[in-house]
Amino acid sequence: MATFRLVVRRLLFLIFVIWAASTITFFIPRLSSRSAIRERFAQLARTGGFAPADLEKIIANMQHQFGLDQPLMQQYGEYLWNVVHLDFGYSLNKYPSTVLDLISQALPWSIGLIFVTTILSFIIGNLLGAIAAWPKAPRWMRTVATPFVLLTGVPPVLMGVLLLFFIGFKLKLLPLGGAYSIGIVPNWSWEFALDMGMHQILPALALILGSVGGWVLSMRGMGVTIQGEDYVNFAEHKGLGGLTIFRDYYLRNALLPQVTGFALALGTLVTSAIVVEGIFGLPGIGTVLQLAIQSNDFPVIYGIVLFITITVATLMVALEFVYPLLDPRIRKN
Amino acid sequence: MVKLKFLAGVLLAAAAALAPVAVYADDAAATAAPAEIAPKTPLPDLPRNKQLILGWSIASPIGVTNPWAVPGYTHQEGNNLMFEPLQYYAIFASKYIPWLAQSCEYTSKDFTSLEIKLNPKAKWSDGTPVTADDVVYTFEGQMKNDKLPYHADFVQYVDTVTAKDKETVEVKFKIPAPRFKFEVLTLKFDTGIPIVQKAWEEKQKDVNAAAGGVDIPHSGPYDLVAWNANQKIYNLREDWWAIKAGLRKDPAVKRVVIVNLGGQVGQNMDTVAQRLVNNEMDSSLDMRAQVIGNILAQNPKITSWTGNKSPFGYRDWWPNSLWMNTTIAPYNDVRVRKAMSLSINRDQINDVLYDGAKVATIYPFPLYPALQKFADSPAVKAEEAKYNPGEFDLDKSAKLMTDAGFTKNGDGLWEKDGKTVNATINGFEGIHSDIAPVLVEMLRNGGFDAAVNFGTDAQQNMNDGVPGLYMFGHGASLLDPDAALELFDGKYSTPNGSAAGAGRWSRYKNPEYDKLLDEMAPLGADDPKFQADAAAALGIYWRDVIDIPIIQWLHRIPYNNTYWTNWPSDTNVADGENGAFWAHTGMIEITSLKPSGAK
């Protein structure tokens, strides 16, 4: 019964978080007087001389078509109803594409790059951090993490530019941008997979090199704290093997706060996505969100922000249920 | 415990599945735009020397090829290879290029009727002929559909459109429309209308929402075969009617790939430059002066309109001014506007940014041959001598500001009632990052509180008419000054509190000026009365400093000759079209390219 109550409580909290995020993302873009439709026409005027004489009439027609001339609270009500149905409507700037069209076009590139690199950073950083703090590890192993620590804080934008210039432009070892080679049509072949993989190496390195150090430092800190714990001493006196102690007593206990940190790190993905996808010309979620913000295309902003919010919030709640699996003490309590 | 594990598992699975599931969730308002266009069969491999690779930041929604899909459609991202006009205009050769129409001529001296004779060999991609019915449908669509860009022009001018036979269309105008043929019915740069197929458009439930995709019949030379978030691919249509009609030879470019540069434009333009230098692309969007200079220095196969010499670009139709809202203080005082203009040193702009090339301007229109002739006319020269719009004189500027009641504060800035003159330049980083800082320095030297705003609010600030300056072009005149001067017609002057239309940010209103425009409207450009009125209107533009003209706009486009040659340039004007592959005339440029012989 207690478990059931816990689950219900957490699920209600999840719903509250999603509602709060929905409401904030609805009202914030509305605080601006910018009109996505007008900006689309202005963009066309700036780049293509599209400047119809009765632009205001056209804009008014389109505002009506998208329901933007209705009272704000009515729009809010319809918006919430649509959110429940995961329907974010049409993009104002890329009409007649829907928001879900744009997300579905961009999502694979972001998942492929950002999620994978975050997971890789997490694994590499924590492993190196744990080794760095583990007194029985060979000295050379403990120094492997040092370069990553030195690179901590180097922004992905700078890392990306440097990698592009030296590895892509000067040495011509890897492509200078894009998701795959120009002119190739995506297909299910090893050749295409390899080509796509080659295009992801530099963006992935731009993200990983600067972020591994953070995990190393935090994991090392945790590891040092755990070294003096009774259960580690007990395991050593029991005569357990070094690898068993490292894996089951040391790493497992040190990992718990890191898992929480991992879920929170997912929330910062958007910033990385905007920067890295921009530099490398990848058409992911970050690029779409950046263009939407530039043009105040609020249905797209709603859609992407909510999508990320729901994913992160759900993962956070899910993790709460994973903790007992990782730590028997939580299970007992 | 089992329950807990089960629930945890379910939640984890839900979290992991949420992303993709949400994307494919049921969409009540199903769209007509596809998420991706993939070729039905694998595309045949083509060697690099048959493919043209162009770099562009694709902004239009995937699948939108229908010229009536508003506001998603743009001709700039390859759709200019699909849709054709009645005729093109070649600006550097000063000539019309008849296309779907063999002829398009006014049939009355007062410009109230026009006859169009179609090319009998013109065909749609589905094999059916382009007929007078298609032209009538295209024109009537513009008249009826108030979302289409030329709706207002058609409503203002066109009375009736009639198909006299299968290949002849007669247009009757309500009022004299001497510029309608050029401004509306002719494709040049980025304006004019293409002809659409009646049979396809009339089947659409909502023509403004119909994407078009690969199915829409078109008369142009290339078929869209693939489009996703990374690129668009067009293949040459071997049965293109213009080859059989003798208008073009079989194009050497068999495939056009437009690479979506995405976020690599603007502040990340250096990477685009690197990709060009490495021969990944044959051409791309236009560059700032320093960037293209570096590209040419690093790859000798890459050239520009002016070869490898400054200023690298050709004159675009978009001369840039510093605009301001002339209805709010302090910009409503002509002395303040003139004082700002007097603080701009145009010679220095030429020296600093263009290696001495005469790019700075005093005109709101580009100096193409016909407009250069107008600018050189005695009437215009007299107005120029009277108002000296290009003068740089800080002493005169200071006197005007003093006369207007301003005094200099401790920072050396003009101040009145505790307020400095806000001269923040609202502009766009991708295109103004070289000129704007130079202007800021000049304005600050003149005592104006200048800064740069490249923020996302820059465009909205222009629309809202907030205090400050707006850097933007006049996309208007090509043949005569009417369109540029008409931007300042009082009928477009919106009151403060409402948005100003594109190019109407001055909100200028002057009955004396409007009267001149009204007199010019029914006259042909070669009419002496038109020339006299236009000169007088230009004089008022200078006298009242409606905006401050700064520079002719240059398109500095890199052309890579590694795989393709015969790019347009000042020594190879060819058909006379401008050198932008994204302009309406880009099709002419692309179908004229010749292989270099490189494999």
B497: nearest CA partner in chain A:
A33
Residues sharing a CB contact under 8 Å with residue B245, sequence separation 6 or more, in sequence order: B119, B121, B122
A59: nearest CA partner in chain B:
B147
pLDDT tens-place string over residues A101-150: 888 888 888 887 877 888 888 899 988 988 888 777 787 877 888 888 88
Is the Cα torsion angle B549, B570, B586, B311 positive or negative in sign? Answer: negative
Fold equal for B90-198 and B320-552: no
Compute the distance between CA of residue B331 and CA of residue B323 in angstroms, rounded to an integer.
Answer: 10
Examine residue A211 and state whether it is found in any structural domain, yes or no. Answer: yes
Q: Report pLDDT for B130.
A: 98
> Quick one: average pLDDT of A259-287?
78
Residue A47 banded pLDDT, cuts 50, 70, 90? low
The CA distance from A222 to the nearest CA of chain B, in Å, is 26
Residue B27 banded pLDDT, cuts 50, 70, 90? very low
Using CB atoms, which residue from A61, A310, A331 is nearest to B146?
A61
Hey, is A232 helix, strand or coil?
helix
Q: What is the pTM of this model?
A: 0.82
Residue B267 banded pLDDT, cuts 50, 70, 90? low
> Quick one: average pLDDT of B401-427?
96
Element (H, E) at B474: none
A267/B contact by beta carbon, under 8 A: no
Examine residue A60 and state whether it is found in any structural domain, yes or no. Answer: no
Examine residue A182 and state whether it is found in any structural domain, yes or no. Answer: yes
Examine residue A168 and state whether it is found in any structural domain, yes or no. Answer: yes
Contacts of A4 in chain B (CB under 8 A): 3
Is the confidence at residue B11, as pLDDT, over 50?
A: no
B7–A3 CB contact, under 8 Å: yes
Closest CA to A322 of B10, B136, B386: B10
From the options 3.10.105.10, 3.40.980.10, 3.40.50.1100, 2.40.50.700, give the CATH code of B320-552.
3.10.105.10
Residue B490 banded pLDDT, cuts 50, 70, 90? very high
Higher model confidence: residue B21 or residue A130? A130
B25–A100 CB contact, under 8 Å: yes
Which of A87-101, A148-162, B146-160, B401-415 holds the top average pLDDT? Answer: B401-415
Q: Percentage of residues in chain B with pLDDT exceeding 90?
A: 73
Contact in structure between A227 and A279 (CB atoms under 8 Å): no
| Structural domain B90-198, CATH architecture | Alpha-Beta Complex (3.90)
Chain mean pLDDT for chain B: 90
A282: nearest CA partner in chain B:
B262
B5–A278 CB contact, under 8 Å: no
Query: Taking every pair of C-alpha atoms in chain B, what is the biggest distance, in angstroms?
Result: 96
pLDDT tens-place string over residues B193-213: 999 999 999 999 999 989 999
Compute the distance between CA of residue B105 and CA of residue B85 in angstroms, rounded to an integer.
Answer: 15
Is the confidence at residue B559, as pLDDT, over 90?
A: yes
B264–A45 CB contact, under 8 Å: no
**How do the residues of chain A divide into helix, strand and coil, expressed in percent and rounded to 5?**
75, 0, 20
To probe the interface with B, which of A40, A158, A176 has the most B CB atoms within 10 Å? A176
Q: Report pLDDT for A240.
A: 84
> Quick one: average pLDDT of A212-238?
85
Closest CA to B336 of B388, B401, B396, B394: B401
Residues 233-262 of A with CB under 8 A from B: none
> Quick one: average pLDDT of B153-172?
96
Output phi, psi for A189, to 5 deg.
-140, 155
Residue A46 banded pLDDT, cuts 50, 70, 90? low
Tally of domains in chain A: 1
B233: nearest CA partner in chain A:
A183
Examine residue A123 and state whether it is found in any structural domain, yes or no. Answer: yes
Using CB atoms, which residue from A58, A89, A96 is nearest to B72?
A96
Contacts of A97 in chain B (CB under 8 A): 31, 33, 61-64, 72
Residues 456-485 of B with CB under 8 A from A: 456-457, 459-460, 462-464, 472-473, 475
Is the confidence at residue B165, as pLDDT, over 80?
A: yes
- What is the residue type of B97? I
The count of CB pairs under 8 A between chains A and B is: 277
Domain parsing of chain B, residue ranges: 90-198, 320-552
The CA distance from A289 to the nearest CA of chain B, in Å, is 11
CATH of the domain at A136: 1.10.3720.10
A187: nearest CA partner in chain B:
B42
pLDDT tens-place string over residues B91-140: 999 899 999 999 999 999 999 999 999 999 999 999 999 999 999 999 99
Examine residue A62 and state whether it is found in any structural domain, yes or no. Answer: no
Residue A45 banded pLDDT, cuts 50, 70, 90? low
pLDDT tens-place string over residues A48-104: 555 555 666 777 777 777 777 888 888 888 888 888 888 888 888 787 788 888 888
Examine residue A224 and state whether it is found in any structural domain, yes or no. Answer: yes
Examine residue A49 and state whether it is found in any structural domain, yes or no. Answer: no
Q: Report pLDDT for B28.
A: 33
Domain around A232: 99-294
DSSP string, B1-21: -HHHHHHHHHHHHHHHHHHHH
